[in-house]
């Protein structure tokens, strides 16, 4: 083992002791500290092989955190892709935390807005945009408005 190898390993273990990291995150942090990608990747691959690092564990942890903050499946999947996370079963995680995506969506909606049964189109669009920015699909939002019996004023 070289000194550089041990330094990389120590940094990775310190980072992983605080929270889960994807391989991409670890590699990016090591590059910022001046280590080359090839040496870093070798150490990270070894840590993954030994079970210290797991992209799947990272994805599950990250998804759980984002669902609790009110983010939807579209946004979480996109963020995981950018961060190099593994494949998380988002549906299983949301079932455990909120029951279903519709229940999570309803909790986000009712946490911000009153359950008005009628509203002007401008307000309906504003609320829809808010939910879309949170990562919920248009179909889910329409279904929520039907479920809550929300209609447009004419």
Residue 59 and residue 42 in one domain = no
Total domains present in the chain: 2
Q: Do 59 and 135 belong to one domain?
A: yes
Residue 13 structural domain: 1-53
Last residue of one domain, picked from the residues 53, 68, 89: 53
Alpha-carbon torsion angle 2, 51, 67, 24, nearest 10? 30
Are 23 and 75 found together in one domain? no
* 44 and 99 together in one domain: no
Banded pLDDT at 114 (limits 50, 70, 90): confident
What's the pLDDT score for residue 1? 66
1, 12: one domain: yes
Mean pLDDT of the chain: 90
- 80 and 22 in one domain? no
Low-confidence winner among 5-19, 26-40, 91-105 (lowest mean pLDDT): 91-105
Q: Are residues 37 and 69 in the same domain?
A: no
Based on the fold, state whether residues 71 and 131 are members of the same structural domain.
Answer: yes
pLDDT band at 92; cut points 50, 70, 90: confident
pLDDT at 154: 67
Residue 88 confidence (pLDDT) above 80 = no
43 and 85, same domain (yes or no): no
What's the rounded mean pLDDT across residues 7-20? Answer: 94
d(CA 54, CA 64): 15
Alpha-carbon span 43 to 7, nearest angstrom: 10
Q: What is the pLDDT of residue 41?
A: 94
């Amino acid at each position: 083992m070289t000194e550089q190898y041990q330094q990389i390993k120590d940094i990775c273990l310190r980072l992983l002791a605080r929270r889960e990291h994807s391989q991409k995150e670890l590699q990016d942090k090591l590059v910022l500290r001046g280590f080359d990608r090839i040496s870093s990747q070798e150490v990270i691959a070894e840590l993954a092989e030994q079970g210290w690092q797991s992209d799947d564990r990272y994805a599950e942890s990250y998804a759980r955190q984002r669902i609790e903050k009110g983010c939807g499946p579209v946004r979480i999947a996109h963020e995981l892709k950018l961060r190099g996370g593994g494949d998380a079963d988002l549906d299983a995680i949301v079932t455990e935390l909120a029951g279903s995506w519709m229940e999570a969506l309803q909790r986000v909606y009712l946490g911000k807005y009153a359950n008005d049964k009628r509203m002007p189109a401008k307000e309906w669009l504003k609320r829809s945009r808010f939910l879309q920015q949170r990562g919920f699909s248009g179909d889910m939002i329409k279904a929520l408005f039907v479920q809550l019996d929300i209609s447009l004023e004419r």
